[in-house]
Structure 1
Amino acid sequence: MTGKIQVGYLVSYDYELLKTSLPTVYKDVDTVFIAIDKNRNTWNGGTFNIDESFFEWIRIFDIDKKVVIYEDDFYVPTLTTMQCEIRERKMLAEKMGTGNWIIQVDCDEYFVDFKKFVSDLRKYDSYLINPEKNPIQICAFWVMLYKYTEKGILYVDKPLKAIFATNYPNYKNGRRIKGRQIYTNNIVLHESLSRTEEDLRFKFENWGHNVDVDKGFLDKWLVVNENNYKDYKDFYYLQPKRWKKLAFFSTKNISQIKEIIENEKRLHVSKLKIYFKNFGQWLKFLLKKKTA
C-alpha cells in the first residue's frame, strides 16, 4: 500500500490567501492539515487575528471532510523566527504521519497543476519505505509574483527552485532537509511579495527571514511599477543579484495567470535542465554514500 498524499499549511496573518491556495490542491490530497498558533502569535511574538468567517469558509469548502485544524503553541520566545518556523513545520509533519508524502505549502503558493505534481511524486513511492535511510526532497519551481500594479502584476522573469515535499521531514532550514533533491517540472505561483506595503512590512518583521532581508529591498519595491521596471535590476530580498529582472502579467486574475504560464514556454523548465539537475544530485549523494 502506498503512502498518503498529505498537505500541510502554516496559517497565520495571511490566512485569507488560503482561499486561493487550498482549491489548487484539494481534489488530489488525502488530508489537509492546517496549523494555527492557538494564541495567535507570529514567530516573532507579534499577534494576528483570524475572523470566524474564515473557519466557516473552510467548513463549507471542505465537502469531502479532508481538512484537519491543528492548533498548538508554535511561538517560543527564546528561539529565532527561523527556529520557530522549523519547529512548527516538524510538529505539523508529525501530525501528517510517517510513511506518507509530507507536502508543506504556504498560503501564498498556488499550484498550476497539483495533479501532475502528485503523479511525479508517485514515481518515488519506494522511498516511503525506511525514509530515514533514504531521505529525499521534491522540488517544483516558483513563478514569483513581485508586486501588484495598476494594470497587472510584476513577477520575477525566471522560474525559481522551491522544495515542497519530502519522505522524511527532518527540516533544517524552512522546508529543506539534509537529503537528495529531486527536481520536477511543476510550476507554483508564489505571492510572497505582491501585497500591500503595510502587509509586506508586517511580514518582514514576523517571518522566518526577518533578520535577513536586504536593507535596500523595500525602497526599490516601493518605486518600481509597470512603466519603469525595466530601468531596475537585482530584486531579491535576501541577495539582490539572484533576481536580476522582472516581467509583467497584464492581468491580476490568478486563474488567467495560470493559463498564461501553461501556454508560455519561456516560463517552463526544460527537460534537459531537469535531467542534468537530477543527475547531479544523484551522483552527489551516490559519492557521499561510498565515502561514508
Structure 2
Amino acid sequence: MKKIHVGFLLSYDYEKLKKSIPPVYQDADAIFIAKDHKNRTWAGETFTIDDSFFKWLKAFDVDNKIELYEDDFYDSNLIAIENDNRERHMLSLKMGVGNWLIQIDSDEYVLDFGKFVKDLRKYDKYLDSPEKHKIQISMYSVNLYKYVDDGILFVKSPTKAVVATNFPNYKVARVTRERIIYTQNILLHESIARDEAELVFKLDNWGHNIEVQNKEAFLEKWRTTNKHNYKEREDFFYIEPEKWKYLEFCEGQTIGEIRENMDINAIIPSKFYIAKKNFGQWFKFLFK
C-alpha cells in the first residue's frame, strides 16, 4: 500500500500513450492501462488498435510495471460522461485504494513527474483511512489549442488539472469534489491540438460530447485561427468559450520542442498563490 499507481485510459487516441507513459514510468510503482474489451468509446463507437502498439508497450516495459486491464467499460444506459466516471472508478479500484491513485489522460504529458511524486509524499498520512479524509491533488494544465506553421497555439492561462486522489468517488471525470491540494506542477495537454478528423471524432465520443454548445461554430473558429490572427481573437473554449480567453504562440512541432521553448517558469503559479488556494480549500472543508 501507499504506492504510486498511475492509470491511463486506452481509446481512439491510443498512439498518444507512447508520449504520455514515458514521463511517468521511472517514478511510478505500477501503471495500469484500462481498455474496453470490445474497443468501444464512452459514446459506444468502436475503434481499432494496431498490433504495433502492443509490441511497443511490451518492448518499452522493461521493468514489468505495466498491467493491461480489460473490462466492460461501456454501458448503453449511460451518457458518455457517466461512462467516463464509471471507467475511472473501476480503474482506480483495480489500482487499489490505499495507494496514490493518479490518472493521466493519453494526451497529457507531465513535465516533472518525479517532483510531483515528492509533493504527493508530503500527504501520505491521507492514505490511512482515506474514506474519512478524502482529498484531491492538482497540477496545472497548459492547454494546447492548435498546431500551426513553426509552432503551437496554446491557452495563455493554465487551468487546474486534478490528477490524483486517495479515494476515487469521482463525480465528473477525475473530479471528486472533495478538498483540493494544489501543487506547482505542470502538464502539457494536447487537448484539441490534433488534426481535424481526430478532433471531430473526439468531440463526438469523449465525456463532454453533449456539452459542446455549438460544435460547428467552434470548429470553424478552430479551423481559421492561425499564427497571424490569434491575437485578434478571444474566447476559445469548447463549452464556455470565455474560459480560454487568450492564446499564445510557442515554437516547436513536437512535445519535446514545445517543452524546451516554452517559458514554463512564467506559467507556473507562484508559491504565494498556491498557498492562498490551499488555505481556501482547507477552510472550505474544515467543518465538512
Aligned-partner SS, 1:10: strand
Residue in structure 1 matched with residue 136 of structure 2 by the alignment: 137
Q: Which runs of 5+ in 1 are unaligned?
A: none
The C-alpha deviation readout for 1:57-108, integer Å capped at 9, x for no partner, is: 0000000000000111111111000000111001101110010000001000
Whether the 8 Å contact between 1:204 and 1:210 is mirrored in structure 2 is yes
d(CA) in 2 for partners of 1:6, 1:22: 12
Q: Which runs of 5+ in 2 are unaligned?
A: none
Equivalences for 1:146-225 in 2 at 5 Å?
146-215=145-214, 216-225=217-226
Residue in structure 2 matched with residue 46 of structure 1 by the alignment: 45
Residue in structure 1 matched with residue 94 of structure 2 by the alignment: 95
Shift of 1:214: 2.9
Aligned-partner SS, 2:285: helix
Shift of 1:152: 0.8
The C-alpha deviation readout for 1:31-73, integer Å capped at 9, x for no partner, is: 0000011101111110100111100000000000000001111
The alignment yields a C-alpha RMSD, in angstroms, of 1.0
Aligned-partner SS, 2:130: coil
Residue in structure 1 matched with residue 78 of structure 2 by the alignment: 79
Whether the 8 Å contact between 1:135 and 1:178 is mirrored in structure 2 is no
d(CA) in 1 for partners of 2:156, 2:8: 27
d(CA) in 1 for partners of 2:75, 2:254: 38
| Structure 1 position 258 matched with structure 2 position 263 | no
d(CA) in 1 for partners of 2:103, 2:265: 27
d(CA) in 2 for partners of 1:3, 1:258: 31
Q: State the aligned residue count.
A: 286
Amino acid at match of 1:52: D
The C-alpha deviation readout for 1:206-265, integer Å capped at 9, x for no partner, is: 00000001313211101001111111100011100111100011111211222334x543
Whether the 8 Å contact between 1:86 and 1:171 is mirrored in structure 2 is yes
Residue in structure 2 matched with residue 279 of structure 1 by the alignment: 279
TM-score by structure 2 length?
A: 0.97
Whether the 8 Å contact between 2:6 and 2:30 is mirrored in structure 1 is yes
TM-score by structure 1 length?
A: 0.96
d(CA) in 2 for partners of 1:87, 1:58: 25
Aligned-partner SS, 2:277: helix
Residue in structure 1 matched with residue 242 of structure 2 by the alignment: 241
Residue in structure 2 matched with residue 267 of structure 1 by the alignment: 267
Amino acid at match of 1:284: K
